[in-house]
A = this chain, B = another copy of it.
Amino acid sequence: MSAVAELTIFPMDKGVSLSPYVARALAVIRQSGLPHALGPMGTCIEGEWDEVMAVVTACFEELRKDSARINVSLRVDWRSGPGGRLAAKPASVLEKLGQGGPRG
């Protein structure tokens, strides 16, 4: 079983320079040890459902220390079957375009 979750979390009371807060959330994600991938609009995390949700809550707890309003967007694609989907999902798309190569 594998849940791939994309998490976007930021404070809404700190103006427009948000990268310091995103960095704190990313540090929490790294501490979890779960596979993850930082992107332009969020960070994808892979794990069992409960593992992923525990990390999401830990990120929230980190930001609530000094934020009065927090916005969270979470999208999860869960499926039974093997993991390794952070890499396998985009590779499968590229393969369909005939560009999978050794990584696809």
Copy number of this protein in the oligomer? Answer: 4
Q: Quick check: B19 and A12 within 8 Å, CB to CB?
A: no
Chain A window 3-21, contacts with chain B (Cβ cutoff 8 Å), 1 for yes, 0 for no: 0101010001101101110
Q: Quick check: A97 and B49 within 8 Å, CB to CB?
A: no
In the complex, the chain B residue whose C-beta lies closest to that of A30 is B97
- Chain B residues in 8 Å Cβ range of A96: 19-20, 22-23
How far, in whole Å, are A42 and B77 apart by their CA atoms in the complex? 11
Q: Quick check: B39 and A68 within 8 Å, CB to CB?
A: no
- Chain B residues in 8 Å Cβ range of A94: 23, 38
Q: Quick check: B75 and A8 within 8 Å, CB to CB?
A: yes
User: Lowest 5 A-B CB distances belong to which pairs?
Assistant: A23-B96, A72-B76, A6-B41, A19-B92, A69-B79
